[in-house]
Amino acid sequence: MSLSESIENLLMSVQKPVRYMGGEFNAVMKDPGAVDVRYAFLFPDTYEVGMSHLGMKILYHAINARPDAWCERVFSPWVDMAGLMRRDGIPLFSLESRTPVKDFDLLGITLQYEMSFTNILEALDLAGIPLRREDRTEGPFVICGGPCAYNPEPLVPFVDLIALGDGEEETIQTIEVYKRWKESGLPRDEYLRMAAQIPGIYVPSLYDVEYNVDGTVKAVTPKPGSGAPAVVRKAMVKDLDAAAYPEKLIVPYGEIVHNRIMLEIFRGCTRGCRFCQAGMIYRPIRERSIPRLMDMAEKLVSSTGYDEISLMSLSSGDYSCLPELAHRMVERFAAKRVKISLPSQRIDTVLTDTLKETQKVRKTALTLAPEAGTQRLRDVINKGVTEADLIRSVTDAFDQGWSAVKLYFMLGLPTETDEDVLGIADLAEKVRRCYFSIPKERRAPGLRITVSASVFVPKNDTPFQWSPQLGFDEVVRRQQLLRQALSRLKGVDFKYHAPDVSYIEAVFARGDRRLGEALERAWRLGCRFDGWSDQFRYDLWLQAFRDVGLDPDFYVTRERSTDEVFPWDHLDCGVTKGYFLREWEKAQHAECTPDCRKGCTGCGMKRYPGACEGR
Amino acid sequence: MRALIRFGKQPRLRFISHLDLQRFFQRAVNRTGLPIAYSQGFNPHPVMSFGSALALGWTSEYEVIDIKLSAPMGRKRTEDAVRAALPEDLPVLEVRMVDDRHAAPMALVKMSDYRVTLEGEGASAVIAQIPAFLARERVEAVKKTKSGEKVINARTMVIGLEPTEVGFDARLMLTERESMKPDVLIELLADMAGVEPPRARIHRVALLGEDGEGNLRPLMEL
């Protein structure tokens, strides 16, 4: 029986067989005999989650634009499918051609969140690839990229290369260097040494880590003679208009999380919120031009048949000509019944005009993220918005016919007090009053305010990388304090979660190389799909740390001194440690740093020739 | 004007549910570039309907979709546009242009032909029961309805049934009031043979309706 037939036989018995089916419209098929490099791209979560990810679509397109390479998709099989695959001896396979992953040349894995790390080990094991790099003598090289790549140390035992920064060009370079290596006939390790010369590529096996007696890192240095750089600086695509972007998107059959056209209008963010890793690692800001965006939208609408375009970025309200863009999009596509939506709305931009435009086609819940309940704490985190901004935005929205507002906050931010926690309830009450201040005949019925409070996780490569995470019991107490305060407000829902996932996330965000042992142990104990609350096993994680003799509190609640060497200090995300430190110190005094569009704040990006041009 | 399109569902895509297929076609018709007619109302959608829902896991060479156009369009152009908008595992097999008064395919369907392939243990025992099944006047089956369970005579809904080397060919009733599904038929035959229902591959060969004189004809020819 062929592999494809064996897979078919399982599909009758699993939930959502569409996940493993392939054959979607616009999926790229090539003749395997006619390409030099076969690239498997693994998104280590389910099909529905992975198919909603823009980065994967961009790289799939960029690789497949080359006649000499074929990129195919791989997703984590859900636990039912994984069980059946093990029972029947079916290896992890690609969706397009149903080829075993171990037969590919390169295996790219995107690291979107720490809680997908066990899925990577599960995928390697299902593929029949030895987990540890040093045990592999054949099979694909494993390359990890994405936001978590800026501190990949816990994954180091399992991967060959780490790709830092924008993937459009560096992914292609890993393929070109692979071809050169294959032609050369040199031993396996030689590919790693060659790849270490690509800008943005970090080859962890070429570095030694020394520790201090207290367990902190003393130094990470390239092995003598390896030719690897002392510091690896991320790759950056300067001109987004010229960068690869798909003209066709795969259109799935089943429903996925974001089933629509995603148009990345710019990359990077100039705000400088101190908790936000994305706001740091995706710098500098690079906008796509309106003509390029209109052209992309036009092609994607006709090649996919989608009836919705989402204008994507970290902070779409900051696009320099958003009203014009929204207006032209609405005008161009209204006749085709294509809706335009704007996610991650900010509360301090001039919303009203844009709201009017998008409302013509669609009315979704207005999502705002004040993040903290008092002005003092918003200044600490450098969320440059005021209560007046928020009130103006929601009043405008209610006046335009919105009736649903989602408010996002974090609990456990540095310097937070009970006053800040109760400030969240106070804000919710003020938003409520805004709604009732609109005359009844003008406002839409059915006010719904949702307050979501997540637990703050200090991340590497942010000004808060020195901050301890708030202790478990204290998080629970503050959650209950807020819950009680909000329960008095009619029409307000409160959403929060147990802090256990955030705790494990915090371990890995600022973890070191030794954590690879704990990760492997946790996977062997049965941890996988840790981002799914029905699969997450906190007890097994704690057991894993005990088994390998590591104290998770060392990574989570420990106060770090300002001269500590971090496990990721040899990886340069573009923003300097000196900038983070200045920002950390300003945070202690609730001192704001303005948006860098209003003047350079010296984050370090200007070390890239041509970055931040015209600013 | 409306386009009646017959298409196939190949094995690879047999796990697309009917609901997902409907959503898929909403986007597929947008890709055709044809002048598609939209419904009125707050949330307009393309005006289209299916001949009959195909169960999850079955394949077909006789799925029919009826798409309303807002302007006249040639048959060949329509066919090319629809073919370009569908993946190779949903092949376009036949296109016919009809005017707006033509009855909806769903209302015309009376019966469906299936080819059933049985695999593994019990397959031959099930096939061997076919003559006995045909010889009976009444074969009771329990049908779940909205108001509970109902005992029906399955025999009268089996219009044709012929054994093949690997399974059987069946012509079964398919109307709103009377319908028989091939998997239920397999269960009845297995029950008569005293075996567990074997694994089956079910393939729809044709949808049939009646012309003005009461003669059975393939749906696309009515």
Q: Do B16 and A253 touch (CB under 8 A)?
A: yes
How far is C-alpha A63 from the geometric centre of its chain's CA atoms?
A: 21
Instruction: Tell whether the model's pLDDT for residue A342 goes beyond 80.
Output: no
CB A78 within 8 Å of CB A112: no
Position with higher pLDDT, A172 vs A384: A172
* Nearest residue to A312 via CA among A293, A295, A298, A333: A293
Q: Do B30 and A18 touch (CB under 8 A)?
A: no
pLDDT of residue A242: 95
Q: Do A18 and B20 touch (CB under 8 A)?
A: yes
**Same domain membership, residue B67 and residue B54:** yes
* Nearest residue to A195 via CA among A180, A168, A177: A177
Give the tens place of pLDDT for each residue, A91-133: 999 999 999 999 999 999 999 999 999 999 999 999 999 999 9
Position with higher pLDDT, A16 vs A340: A16
pLDDT of residue B41: 78
**Same domain membership, residue B121 and residue B83:** no
Provide the pLDDT confidence category of residue A327 given band limits of 50, 70 and 90: confident
Last residue of a domain, one of B107, B125, B148: B107
Give the tens place of pLDDT for each residue, B40-50: 877 788 999 99
Give the tens place of pLDDT for each residue, B90-105: 999 999 999 999 999 8
**CA distances (Å), A4 to each of A1, A250, A518, B78, in order?**
8, 21, 35, 34
Residue of B nearest to A300 (CA): B31
**Same domain membership, residue B92 and residue B118:** no
Q: Which residues of B touch A96 (CB under 8 A)?
A: none
In angstroms, the separation between the Cα of residue B137 and the nearest Cα of chain A is: 34
**Same domain membership, residue B113 and residue B216:** yes
**Same domain membership, residue B216 and residue B113:** yes
Give the tens place of pLDDT for each residue, A128-166: 999 999 999 999 999 999 999 999 999 999 999 999 999
Instruction: Tell whether the model's pLDDT for residue B144 goes beyond 70.
Output: yes
Q: Which residues of A touch B28 (CB under 8 A)?
A: 25, 305
**CA distances (Å), A515 to each of A126, A217, A483, A540, B97, in order?**
22, 13, 35, 15, 66
Q: Which residues of B touch A12 (CB under 8 A)?
A: 57
**Same domain membership, residue B55 and residue B113:** no
Q: What interhelical angle do A500-509 and A472-487 show, nearest 10?
A: 130
Provide the pLDDT confidence category of residue A614 given band limits of 50, 70 and 90: low
Among B17, B22, B30, the strongest candidate for a mutation testing the A interface, having the largest count of A CBs within 10 A, is: B30
* Residue keyed to tokens 């890192």: A217
Query: Is A254 touching B (CB cutoff 8 A)?
Result: yes
pLDDT of residue A349: 47
* Residues in CB range of A173: below 8 A, 6 or more apart: A198, A199, A201
Give the number of other CB atoms < 10 A from CB of residue A437: 12
Provide the pLDDT confidence category of residue A353 given band limits of 50, 70 and 90: low
The tokens of B20 are what? 């997902």
When mean pLDDT is compared across A82-86, A364-368, A419-423, B214-218, the lowest value belongs to A364-368
Instruction: Tell whether the model's pLDDT for residue A345 goes beyond 60.
Output: no
Task: Report DSSP letters for A30-77, one per residue.
Answer: --GGG-SEEEEEEESS-HHHHTT-HHHHHHHHHHHTSTTEEEEEEEPP
Q: What b/e readout covers A184-212, taking b as 16+ CB neighbours within 10 angstroms? A: eeeeeeebbbbbbebebbbbbbbbebeee
In angstroms, the separation between the Cα of residue B5 and the nearest Cα of chain A is: 18
Q: Which residues of A touch B87 (CB under 8 A)?
A: 23-25, 27
Supply the DSSP symbol for A253. S
From the list B26, B28, B33, the residue facing A302 with the nearest CB is B33
Task: Determine the Cα–Cα distance for residues B115 and B202; give it in Å rounded to an integer.
Answer: 6
Residue of B nearest to A9 (CA): B199
Give the number of other CB atoms < 10 A from CB of residue B50: 17
From the list B13, B21, B44, the residue facing A337 with the nearest CB is B44
Helix intervals (H) in A226-351: 278-281, 290-304, 322-333
Task: Determine the Cα–Cα distance for residues A296 and A304; give it in Å rounded to an integer.
Answer: 12
Supply the DSSP symbol for A210. E
* Residues in CB range of A392: below 8 A, 6 or more apart: none
Q: How many helices (H) and strands (E) does chain A have?
A: 20, 19
Q: Which range of residues forms the domain containing residue B202?
A: 109-221
In angstroms, the separation between the Cα of residue B99 and the nearest Cα of chain A is: 24
CATH of the domain at B59: 3.30.70.580
Instruction: Tell whether the model's pLDDT for residue A84 goes beyond 80.
Output: yes
**Same domain membership, residue B172 and residue B90:** no
Phi, psi of B202 (to 5 degrees): -115, 130
* Residues in CB range of A325: below 8 A, 6 or more apart: A265, A290, A293, A311, A319
Last residue of a domain, one of B88, B107, B126: B107
ipTM over 0.90: no
Position with higher pLDDT, A258 vs A176: A176
Query: Is B34 touching A (CB cutoff 8 A)?
Result: no
**Same domain membership, residue B97 and residue B127:** no
* Residues in CB range of A32: below 8 A, 6 or more apart: A38, A70, A97, A99
Q: Do A22 and B12 touch (CB under 8 A)?
A: yes
Q: Which amino acid is at A422?
A: L
Q: Do B87 and A23 touch (CB under 8 A)?
A: yes
Coil vs helix vs strand at A15: coil
Query: Is B27 touching A (CB cutoff 8 A)?
Result: yes
CB B114 within 8 Å of CB B35: no
Query: Is B35 touching A (CB cutoff 8 A)?
Result: no
Mean pLDDT calculated for residue range A222-229: 96
CB B193 within 8 Å of CB B132: no
pLDDT of residue A346: 47
Mean pLDDT calculated for residue range B109-131: 95
DSSP E strand stretches across A198-323:
201-202, 207-211, 217-222, 232-233, 261-264, 266-267, 286-287, 308-312
Query: Is B91 touching A (CB cutoff 8 A)?
Result: no
**Same domain membership, residue B120 and residue B204:** yes
Q: Do A251 and B16 touch (CB under 8 A)?
A: no
Assessment of whether the complete model's pTM goes beyond 0.90: yes
In angstroms, the separation between the Cα of residue B87 and the nearest Cα of chain A is: 5
Mean pLDDT calculated for residue range B155-176: 95
Mean pLDDT calculated for residue range A192-208: 97
CB A169 within 8 Å of CB A145: no
CB A45 within 8 Å of CB A128: no
From the list B24, B30, B87, the residue facing A307 with the nearest CB is B30
Q: Which residues of B touch A305 (CB under 8 A)?
A: 26-31, 85
Phi, psi of A490 (to 5 degrees): -75, 140
The tokens of A507 are what? 């371990």
* Nearest residue to A506 via CA among A478, A476, A541, A468: A468
Supply the DSSP symbol for A446. -
Task: Determine the Cα–Cα distance for residues B139 and A524; give it in Å rounded to an integer.
Answer: 54
Per DSSP, what are the bridge partners of residue B66? B4, B49
Supply the DSSP symbol for B220. G
The tokens of B210 are what? 């009646």
The tokens of B153 are what? 């005579």
Last residue of a domain, one of B64, B83, B107: B107
Residue-averaged pLDDT of chain B: 93
Burial class of residue A78, CB neighbours in 10 A (0-12, 13-18, 19+): buried
The tokens of A378 are what? 């918003």
**CA distances (Å), B149 to each of A541, B55, B141, B142, B177, in order?**
49, 21, 10, 6, 15
pLDDT of residue A478: 98
The tokens of A62 are what? 């960029």
Task: Report DSSP letters for A121-187, one per residue.
Answer: HHHHHHHT--SSGGG-SSSPEEEEESGGGGS-GGGGGG-SEEE-B-HHHHHHHHHHHHHHHHHHT--
**Same domain membership, residue B45 and residue B24:** yes
Query: Is A25 touching B (CB cutoff 8 A)?
Result: yes
CB B10 within 8 Å of CB B91: yes
Per DSSP, what are the bridge partners of residue B94? B6
Task: Determine the Cα–Cα distance for residues B57 and B48; give it in Å rounded to an integer.
Answer: 23
What is the percent of chain A with per-residue pLDDT over 90, rounded to a whole number? 83
* Residues in CB range of B29: below 8 A, 6 or more apart: A305, B36, B46, B48, B67, B85
Q: Do A25 and B33 touch (CB under 8 A)?
A: no
Q: Do B86 and A25 touch (CB under 8 A)?
A: yes
What would you report as the CA-atom Rg of chain B, rounded to the nearest whole angstrom? Answer: 19
Q: What interhelical angle do A352-361 and A322-333 show, nearest 10?
A: 20
Query: Is A199 touching B (CB cutoff 8 A)?
Result: no
Q: Which residues of A touch B85 (CB under 8 A)?
A: 25, 305
Number of domains in chain B: 2
Task: Determine the Cα–Cα distance for residues B117 and B131; give it in Å rounded to an integer.
Answer: 18
CB A384 within 8 Å of CB A345: no
pLDDT of residue A389: 86
In angstroms, the separation between the Cα of residue B178 and the nearest Cα of chain A is: 27
Instruction: Tell whether the model's pLDDT for residue A344 goes beyond 80.
Output: no
**Same domain membership, residue B139 and residue B214:** yes
* Count of residues making up chain A: 615
pLDDT of residue B7: 98
* Residues in CB range of A186: below 8 A, 6 or more apart: none
Complete domains list, chain A, with CATH: 3-233 (3.40.50.280), 261-497+575-598 (3.80.30.20)
The tokens of A578 are what? 């000196």
Give the tens place of pLDDT for each residue, B19-69: 999 999 999 999 999 999 999 877 788 999 998 999 999 999 999 999 999
Q: Do B87 and A24 touch (CB under 8 A)?
A: yes
Cα A284–A575–A373 angle (5° rounding)? 85
Give the number of other CB atoms < 10 A from CB of residue A420: 21
- Contacts of A100-103 with C-beta under 8 Å, sequence gap 24+, read A100/A3, A100/A127, A100/A128, A101/A40, A101/A42, A101/A74, A101/A127, A101/A129, A101/A140, A102/A127, A102/A128, A102/A129, A102/A139, A102/A140, A103/A38, A103/A139
**Same domain membership, residue B181 and residue B149:** yes
